[in-house]
Amino acid sequence: MIQYVAISDAEPVASRSGAIKLHGPGAFEGMRRAGRAAAEVLDALVPHVVPGVTTQQIDDVVHAEMKARGGLPATLGYRGFTGSCCTSINHVVCHGIPGERVLKDGDIVNIDVTIILDGWHGDTSRMFLVGDVPIRARRLVDITYECMMLGIAQARPGNHLGDIGHAIQTHAERHRYGVVRDFCGHGLGRVFHDAPEVVHAGRPGTGPELKPGMFFTIEPMINIGKPGVKVLEDGWTAVTRDRTLSAQFEHAVGITEEGCEIFTKSPAGLDKPPYA
Ligand code: MF3
Ligand code: CO
Ligand code: CO
């Protein structure tokens, strides 16, 4: 039984009840600002994501850019995570920990940032191409972006979460890519990871119905090979079992009367590479 709960703009508590929250206009305004700030942080990274930089250097820029906007990184200290962002390179699917790894020519890297601004979470990620990237990897990145946008195109009242998953899965599998099942999108707002779970594969008309005021992320992880992942000894870094390349993009959206609003669009138009 799926439960929905209307949240008033004055609601002070970030509860994690399992019910799907339906937010009001004040919450949309909060998410608009947090989403925009998160997108601006990714925009600011473009000149930094080049061969020779470490993922720690990128993390430092993320932290500074968030602070400059009056926000804080939601991931820092989250369940013991040590980064202000996640940096997931090549066959790393998600949750790569920033550190001494040096970016090299030909790498593809997902950078996933979550800012907390005035209590609201702005969560978004993009792929970055490091130097000259082979066509096979660039194609994966392009198709993964298309998967996310096709999922977003299904985000409107009356549709179901399964419609989003189906659109993503259909496009990925048309290109013989694997859709990761072990991680999914999520409700967010004052809570970082809230109900519902947004799976990136599924059947039309299944799962919770979409209603105005729902906030959630769509963040498909797509592999050149099979969908299987494993988590490394560090307890975070998820990699493809078959070691094939993986890509991901993430937007946070809010369901409106007409469709959806994307909170995390790049103000500079840098939503997907190439950014030059
Ligand atoms: N930003 C990620 C997401 O999209 C979550 C990262 S949690 C961390 O949900 F601890 F790994 F940073
Ligand atoms: Co997310
Ligand atoms: Co994220």
243 CA distance to ligand 2 centroid (A)? 23
Q: What is the pLDDT of residue 42?
A: 99
pLDDT at residue 11 greater than cutoff 80? no
Peptide bond into 157 cis (omega under 30): no
Would you tell me how many other CB atoms lie within 10 Å of the CB of residue 35? 28
In whole angstroms, give the CA distance from residue 131 to residue 22: 43
Phi, psi of 163 (to 5 degrees): -70, -35
CATH number at residue 200: 3.90.230.10
Does the C-beta of 114 come closer than 6 Å to ligand 1?
yes
Quote the mean pLDDT of the chain: 97
Mutate to test the pocket of ligand 1, among 41, 82, 95 (most ligand atoms within 8 A of CB): 95
Question: Do 172 and 147 meet the contact criterion of CB atoms below 8 Å apart?
Answer: yes
Asked if residue 46 belongs to a domain, the reply is yes
**Which residues are close to ligand 3, an ion, with C-beta < 5 A?**
112, 123, 250
Whole-structure pTM value: 0.98
Asked if residue 1 belongs to a domain, the reply is no
86 CA distance to ligand 1 centroid (A)? 7
Counting atoms of ligand 1 from 1, which one is nearest the CA of 79? 10
Q: Residue 251 corresponds to which tokens in the numbers above?
A: 């937007």
Q: Which residues contact 198 (CB under 8 A, 6 or more apart)?
A: 161, 164, 165, 184, 185, 186, 187, 216, 217, 218, 219
Domain count, the chain: 1
Instruction: Specify the length of the chain in residues.
Output: 276
What residues are paired with 129 via a beta bridge? 108
Question: Do 130 and 197 meet the contact criterion of CB atoms below 8 Å apart?
Answer: no
Q: Which domain holds residue 69?
A: 21-262
101-133 per-position pLDDT tens digit: 999 999 999 999 999 999 999 999 999 999 999
Does the C-beta of 95 come closer than 6 Å to ligand 1?
yes
> What is the residue type of 239?
V
Give the ligand with the smallest distance to the CA of 78: 1
213 CA distance to ligand 3 centroid (A)? 20
Q: Which residues contact 120 (CB under 8 A, 6 or more apart)?
A: 27, 30, 31, 33, 34, 189, 190
Asked if residue 16 belongs to a domain, the reply is no
Counting atoms of ligand 1 from 1, which one is nearest the CA of 183? 9
Phi, psi of 35 (to 5 degrees): -65, -40
Does the C-beta of 86 come closer than 6 Å to ligand 1?
yes
Asked if residue 129 belongs to a domain, the reply is yes
DSSP 3-state assignment of 131? Answer: coil
Among all chains, which residue has been given the structure tokens 């990620």? Answer: 125
pLDDT at residue 13 greater than cutoff 80? no
Q: What is the pLDDT of residue 12?
A: 61
Asked if residue 173 belongs to a domain, the reply is yes
Give the ligand with the smallest distance to the CA of 75: 1
192 CA distance to ligand 1 centroid (A)? 9
Asked if residue 15 belongs to a domain, the reply is no
202-260 per-position pLDDT tens digit: 999 999 999 999 999 999 999 999 999 999 999 999 999 999 999 999 999 999 999 99
pLDDT at residue 149 greater than cutoff 90? yes
In whole angstroms, give the CA distance from residue 276 to residue 274: 6
53 CA distance to ligand 1 centroid (A)? 22
Q: Residue 106 corresponds to which tokens in the numbers above?
A: 């030909």
Asked if residue 234 belongs to a domain, the reply is yes
Write down the H helix ranges in the chain.
25-45, 55-68, 135-152, 161-174
In whole angstroms, give the CA distance from residue 194 to residue 185: 10
Question: Do 16 and 194 meet the contact criterion of CB atoms below 8 Å apart?
Answer: yes
Asked if residue 269 belongs to a domain, the reply is no
